[in-house]
A and B are shown apart, each in its own frame.
Chain A
Amino acid sequence: AQTVTQSQPEMSVQEAETVTLSCTYDTSESDYYLFWYKQPPSRQMILVIRQEAYKQQNATENRFSVNFQKAAKSFSLKISDSQLGDAAMYFCAYRSLPSGNQFYFGTGTSLTVIP
């Protein structure tokens, strides 16, 4: 089974600054999707950003961007101009295309935004 590793249990960032959350994954597949999800305290998990493995261009969504390094199996999330509302648990997830519809999640990184 694929594994997703988030090595930073907790991170903090000053408001308006930039922070990068790390994620690595292990797979032998060449076709897959990677995701970052955000889970605010006591609220529902929402999709932040998605990256298709076949695309070399890094995905961006407003203040959120990724650094996708396919050979290194690395998928980091950069949050620019951090806002108080960015404080949440962030999960990296992997979805295999050949192997069905299972999503594999990392253990999460808790992000604190300091005013």
Chain B
Amino acid sequence: GAVVSQHPSWVICKSGTSVKIECRSLDFQATTMFWYRQFPKQSLMLMATSNEGSKATYEQGVEKDKFLINHASLTLSTLTVTSAHPEDSSFYICSASGTSPYEQYFGPGTRLTVT
């Protein structure tokens, strides 16, 4: 149980375009979903937290107009990187939790490369 999927697993896009990443909880209802970013040899950094049906809460330094998060249902959250730049190239990982935010189930991640 507690399976989280992400799509796509990797994507290459041109600078200035937008990319949408989906995160789904396959066998449970996720009260909260988290979006992380990980640069090479760095730790996972939380970008934002989203609860179903409400606006996401962004961490300091993360531009909400650039990283659009939608959590329309208890099983799906999307992250859209708008007007992507090469510095946005990173490993984006989502996680989902049920009743406790400390028990998070991670998706397999999406590797984004912006050329």
Say whether A associates with B: no
